[in-house]
């Protein structure tokens, strides 16, 4: 009996050894449970072969996207809560300036894209057409109706808070110092709406007990970033002080942001990087560097291995958000290099920017109506830093 059973016992003993070795290996692997971005598989990051330039050819390509939508009233996603029958109107009635590009905020940053490109490339072949459209949209009469919408009923007071607010101020920031007759007229017409938005920020921010940390429109840090830039440009001291105070109250004690959890499936903003982006504005260089090192593991030692988001279906309006994420990650990383002086961050930003840059004119309105603005702001941020 024993001799016949020997192979069986040998087999069992070998299996037990294999089990014990596997158990030891798994135990050692799980010993360090700290979430770290360095565990993300790294891609080779090089900006040498990435087309991240903004030249006249690229500008001619990108300006076509907002020009094709800022006067396109349908399809349109209205952010309207109907309090009475009269509130139900077509987009041009409520928003005679910003009725195109699928929704209000996209129309606003579509105007920003056109202004930025006209300002940067005065030789654009679409120059006359672009100016004609902006002259038709950005009038005192139209802006007065936009202002009136915020008092349409009690529900419209918070309309586009704060994503659309932020882009409206970014548009004015681009116009305010452009020494151009048309630009001066557009800026003059727009200023009363900007004054209203500034006041809305000042009234709203003290009431916000907790910042909103998501990857879509309501992200608090994003809304603060563009508003801060505007306030700095026009010397809006009340708005500057409010944003600086609240940003520090919201984020100064934050540490170990779990960026390895990003992205979520519909993100077009990075919660961690947007927070980094506002704090570089409100902190001094001496304050920002240690805060950033404590906030985002690996940012100071080439351990922030962010891989560009992949998009499978660019006809899906939510899934294509991830192209926007690649662009917004890029502009945040470019901005961080102002204080951190890290070429690795620039290369990572270039990688994200180039990954989506060629994919925003694929013929589908889901991405075309807004992505040019994100690409252009990323490109502008690259050259600004």
pLDDT over threshold 70, residue 231: yes
Contact 228, 240 (CB under 8 A): yes
> What is residue 50's predicted lDDT score, i.e. its pLDDT?
55
pLDDT digits (tens, 9 = 90+) for 274-321: 999 999 999 999 999 999 999 998 897 777 889 999 999 999 999 999
- Name the nearest CA neighbour of 378 among 288, 298, 302, 268: 268
Q: How many CB atoms sit inside 10 A of residue 311's CB?
A: 19
| CA atoms of 299 and 238, how far apart (whole Å) | 33
Neighbours of 298 (CB within 10 A): 18
- Backbone dihedral angles phi then psi of residue 76, each to the nearest 5 degrees: -145, 135
Could you tell me the pLDDT band of residue 81, with boundaries at 50, 70 and 90? confident
- Contacts of the segment 203-208: beta carbons below 8 A, 24+ positions apart: 204/158, 204/161, 204/162, 205/242, 205/243, 205/246, 206/242, 206/246, 208/246
Q: What are the structure tokens assigned to 44, written together?
A: 């080779």
Residue 65 pLDDT grade (very low, low, confident, very high; cuts 50, 70, 90): very high
The residues, ordered by sequence, that sit 6+ positions from 96 with a Cβ below 8 Å of its Cβ are 137, 141, 142, 145, 146
pLDDT per position as a tens digit, 118-149? 999 999 999 999 999 999 999 999 999 999 99
> For 52-384, which CATH class?
mainly alpha
The Cα–Cα gap between 214 and 181 comes to 40
What is the overall mean pLDDT for the chain?
87
Does residue 33 register a pLDDT over 80?
Answer: no
- Check whether 252 has a pLDDT greater than 90: yes
Cα separation values, 85 from 91, 92, 209, 252, Å: 15, 17, 35, 46
The residue ranges of every structural domain in the chain are 52-384
Least confident range of 39-48, 299-308, 343-352: 39-48
Whether the Cβ atoms of residue 325 and residue 22 lie closer than 8 Å to each other = no
Q: Give the mean pLDDT of 320-340.
A: 95
Average pLDDT over residues 252-267: 96
Taking the model in full, what pTM does it have?
0.86
Q: pLDDT tens digits, residue range 160-172?
A: 999 999 999 999 9
Question: How does residue 234 score in pLDDT terms, banded at 50, 70 and 90?
Answer: very high
Question: How many Å apart are CA 328 and CA 349, to the nearest integer?
Answer: 9
Which of 252-290 are b and which e, b meaning 16 or more Cβ less than 10 Å from the residue's Cβ? eebeebebbebbeebbbbbbbbbbbbbbbbbbeeeebbe
pLDDT bracket for residue 79 (50, 70, 90):
confident
Q: With helix as H, strand as E and coil as C, how does the chain read?
A: CHHHHHHHHHHHHHHHHHHHHHHHHHHHHCCCCCCCHHHCCCCCCCCCCCCCCCCHHHHHHHHHHHHCCCCCCCCECCCCCCCCHHHCCCHHHHCCCCCCCECHHHHHHHHHHHHHHHHHCCCCCCHHHHHHHHHHHCCHHHHHHHHHHCCCCCCHHHCCCCHHHHHHHHHHHHHHCCCCHHHHHHHHHHHHHHHHHHHHHHHHHHHCCCCCCCCCCCCHHHHHHHHHHHHHHHCCHHHHHHHHHHHHHHHCCCCCCCHHHCCCCCCCCCHHHHHHHHHHHHCCHHHHHHHHHHHCCCCCCCCCCCCCCCCCCCCCCCCCHHHHHHHHHHHHHHHHHHHHCCHHHHHHHHHHHHHHHCCCCCCCHHHHCCHHHHHHHHHHHHHHC
Through-space distance between the first and last CA atoms of the chain, rounded to whole angstroms: 81
Mean pLDDT of 321-343: 94
Higher pLDDT, 194 or 365: 194
pLDDT tens for each residue of 188-227: 999 999 999 999 999 999 999 999 999 999 999 999 999 9
Looking at per-residue confidence, does 300 or 75 come out higher?
Answer: 75
Candidate ranges 83-97, 224-238, 331-345; pick with highest mean pLDDT: 224-238
**CB-based contacts of 253, cutoff 8 Å, min separation 6:** none
Check residues 44 and 156 and name the one with the higher pLDDT.
156
Q: What is the pLDDT of residue 362?
A: 64
């Amino acid at each position: 009996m024993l001799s016949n059973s020997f192979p069986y016992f040998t087999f069992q003993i070998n299996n037990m050894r294999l089990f014990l070795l596997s158990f030891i290996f798994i135990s050692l692997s799980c010993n360090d449970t700290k979430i770290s971005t360095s565990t993300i598989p790294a891609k080779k990051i090089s900006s040498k072969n990435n087309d991240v330039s903004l030249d006249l050819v690229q500008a001619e390509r990108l300006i076509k996207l907002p020009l094709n939508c800022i006067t396109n009233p349908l399809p349109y996603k209205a952010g309207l809560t109907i309090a009475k029958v009269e509130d139900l109107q077509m987009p041009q009635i409520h928003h005679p300036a910003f009725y195109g590009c699928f929704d209000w905020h996209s129309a606003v940053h579509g105007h920003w894209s056109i202004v930025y490109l006209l300002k940067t490339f005065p030789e654009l072949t679409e120059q006359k057409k672009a100016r004609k459209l902006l002259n038709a949209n950005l009038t005192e009469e139209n802006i007065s109706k936009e202002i009136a919408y915020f008092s349409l009923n009690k529900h419209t007071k918070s309309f586009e808070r704060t994503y659309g607010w932020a882009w409206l101020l970014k548009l004015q920031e681009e116009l305010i110092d452009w020494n151009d007759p048309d630009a001066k007229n557009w800026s003059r017409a727009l200023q009363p709406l900007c004054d209203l938005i500034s006041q809305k920020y000042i009234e709203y921010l003290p009431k916000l007990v907790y910042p909103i940390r998501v990857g879509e429109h309501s992200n608090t840090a994003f809304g603060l970033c563009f508003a801060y830039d505007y306030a700095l440009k026009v010397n809006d001291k009340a708005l500057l002080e409010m944003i600086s105070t609240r940003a520090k109250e919201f984020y100064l004690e934050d540490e170990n942001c779990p960026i390895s959890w990003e992205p979520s499936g519909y993100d077009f903003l990075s919660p961690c990087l947007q927070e980094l982006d506002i704090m570089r504005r409100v902190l001094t260089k001496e304050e920002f560097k240690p805060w950033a090192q404590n906030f985002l593991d690996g940012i100071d030692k080439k351990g922030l291995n962010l891989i560009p988001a992949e998009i499978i279906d660019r006809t899906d309006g939510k899934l294509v958000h991830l192209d926007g994420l690649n662009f917004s990650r890029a502009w945040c990383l470019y901005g961080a290099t102002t204080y951190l002086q890290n070429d690795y961050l620039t290369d990572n930003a270039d990688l994200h920017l180039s990954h989506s840059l060629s994919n925003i004119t694929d013929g589908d309105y889901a991405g075309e109506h807004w992505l040019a603005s994100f690409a252009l702001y990323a490109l502008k941020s690259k050259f600004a830093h």
